[in-house]
Amino acid sequence: MANSNSGSFKDKMAAAAGNFAGSRFVRAIMDAGYSVISFSIIGAIFLILTVLPQAFPIPGFASFYANTLGRFTNLFQVVYNSTMGILALVFAGTFAYSYTRIYEQEEKLNLVPMNGLLMFLMAFFITVPELIWKNGSIQFVQIFTKTQMVAGGYEASTGGITRIASVGIFTGLVIAWLTVQIYRFTIKHHWQIKMPASVPSGVANSFSAMIPGFCIAVVVSVINLILVMIGTDIFKVLYIPFSFISNIADTWWGFLIIIFLIHFLWWFGIHGATIMSSFYTPIVLANMAANVKGASHFFAGDPMNSFVIIGGSGATLGMAIWLAFGSRSSQLKEIGKVELVPAIFNINEPLLFGLPIVYNINLLIPFICAPLASGIVGYVAVTSHLVPKIIVQQPWPTPVGLSGYIATVSWQGAILSIICAIVAFIVWFPFIKHYDNVLLKKEQADAAK
């Protein structure tokens, strides 16, 4: 009976998490996250060009840099602003496009993904200007001080327009969701201008978006108007929960909870990294951009693949190497040989399903505790300023050492990445050694028969 109940619980949990991971919202979020990677890498390249003196504190290099590349730092900043400085537009815009396309394909609606994207941009920019209710009318905020400049409602700095950068990701995401839902509602109820079949598709699409676009503009404007009249606006209201969640995720216990949930879900065969990253991706992107401007967030960029899950979920790089060269069980040795190269690039599905780790009670403890241990080491090293903060989002398959160097633009980050991988293997070793002995005895017993 206990086994039946346990199996039922596993099945229900797997089904619930699987449904969530496969939901339209999460799939669109993942598309948005992938779209940001190329932009963040381009921005990171030009950011690195501006911090070379800090990355290479060699005597004489700072003056050499000032007389050569240093002359172009403002240009490098412009390129950076054109990537990371419009992060909310890229992330939420891709979400709107992908979310619209998913509904178009799966509900067979006459939705145009490009219209979804363009209407989102319109709706989002309604929230960008800072407005106030004064003397019985809506007025633009105007502030000109040494620390802040707001002209015509738009707050700007050397980093560009503030609200379209990383701080606007969460607001953009909510507005994108609202835009697509209103667009979907109007089309389902045939609130659109239909043109004759002889009209070119481009012209027809533009007219078909007129009524949905008008509805979106009215809804967002009315919401913003009500909030402005009571002393706030859409952006400020939506930023409150985002900043609250961001602060929790940036604590040591919040960070460890995220690591635990990723691996707890994975043990049930559910892609925990996909599910959890759909929640925290906007946070780490915003924190990374804030770090560039002087903040000190640990949970920024991609701390997971830099210092936690090196080799894949479970932090299995060291364990994969040991399986290939140190294990005595033929089963484990063969799996280790298959996994060795993928593990270098943080891919470990052969271990998760071939060892297996999924549903394997013998390996549950190290699978959860190894990344927790490496996460603690990484968190302490960065927050104690032994290692510089993360200012670059490296591609997730970046190998150990190089990932830490790119993320922090420092040799200390490279060393920390390697140390974290070693710490994770130390946790793994007694468990995988015991499991190796168990399988070896079983293989010997089978051979004797």
Per-residue pLDDT for 8 more than 80? no
Q: Is the CA virtual torsion 326, 329, 332, 337 positive or negative?
A: positive
Q: Tell me, yes or no, whether 18 lies in a domain.
A: no
pLDDT at position 195 = 67
Specify whether 151 is located in the same domain as 298.
Answer: no
- Please write the tens of the pLDDT for every residue from 275-290: 788 778 888 888 888 8
Say if residue 193 is in the same domain as residue 304. Answer: no
Answer yes or no: do 337 and 364 share one domain.
yes
Residue 243 pLDDT:
78
The answer to whether residue 139 is domain-embedded is yes
Model pLDDT for residues 110-145, shown as the tens digit of each residue:
899 999 999 999 999 999 999 999 988 999 999 888
Give percent of the chain with pLDDT exceeding 70: 92
Same domain, 362 and 295: yes
- pLDDT reading at 330 higher than 70: yes
4 falls within a domain: no
- Residue at a domain's end among 194, 221, 244: 244
**Which of 149-158, 180-189, 204-213, 439-448 is predicted most confidently?**
180-189
Mean pLDDT confidence for 199-221: 83
239 and 254, same domain (yes or no): no
Is pLDDT above 50 for 2?
Answer: no
Mean of the per-residue pLDDT values for the chain?
A: 87
Confidence check: pLDDT of 431 > 50:
yes
Domain identity same for 89 and 142: yes
229 and 93 both lie in a single domain:
yes
Residues 270 and 392 in one domain: yes
Count of domains forming the chain? 2
Q: Could you tell me the residue range of the domain that residue 372 belongs to?
A: 250-448
pLDDT of residue 227: 94
Is 264 inside any structural domain?
yes
Do 170 and 81 reside in the same domain of the chain? yes
Asked if omega into 356 is within 30° of 0 (cis), the reply is yes
220 with 254, same domain?
no
Overall average pLDDT of the 47-66 stretch: 79
Give yes or no: residues 219 and 257 share one domain. no
Q: Is residue 3 part of a domain?
A: no
Q: Is the pLDDT of residue 204 over 70?
A: no
pLDDT at 377: 97
Is 15 part of any domain?
no
What's the confidence (pLDDT) of residue 1?
Answer: 43
Same domain? 206 vs 330: no
- Domain boundary, last residue among 199, 226, 244: 244
Which position has the higher pLDDT, 179 or 357?
179
Q: Is the pLDDT of residue 7 over 60?
A: no
Residue 414's pLDDT band, with cuts at 50, 70 and 90, is very high
Which pLDDT tens digit goes with each residue over 227-270?
A: 999 999 999 898 877 777 788 888 999 999 999 989 988 887 66
End-of-domain residue from the set 224, 244, 264: 244
